[in-house]
Amino acid sequence: MSIHDCSITPNKPIALLLARRELSSLVHESVLLEGINFTLPEIQTLIDGITVGGHTLSDQQVAINQSAAWKSLFERIKHGDFLTKS
């Protein structure tokens, strides 16, 4: 079965909404891969613009940069200027 055989119609706005809802989890998993041990609530706090104790500023900046990168990707997809299949 290929993707073209699927009866589900792609819905970009809903897909972006669901991805944005998972932003904290996406950032959390990304920074864990970098060896930076933030908890999910700490990541959510950082994304909300509040620093958290017990971590270096450089580790916090990595998490903030990851969040910005994901948000930028979402915006590019929303406006159609990311790689898309014609």
Token couple for 45: 């706090």
Token couple for 35: 């060896």
Q: Read off the pLDDT of residues 27-66 as tens digits, 9 standing for 90 and up.
A: 999 999 999 999 999 999 999 999 999 999 999 999 999 9
Q: How do the domains of the chain map onto residue ranges?
A: 3-78
Question: Is the backbone of residue 7 left (phi > 0), alpha (psi -120 to 50) or beta?
Answer: alpha
Q: Give the pLDDT band (50/70/90) at residue 10.
A: confident
| pTM (2 d.p.) | 0.78
Look at residue 7 in the predicted model and tell me its pLDDT.
Answer: 76
> What's the chain's average pLDDT?
88
SS3 content of the chain, % helix, strand, coil (to 5): 65, 0, 35
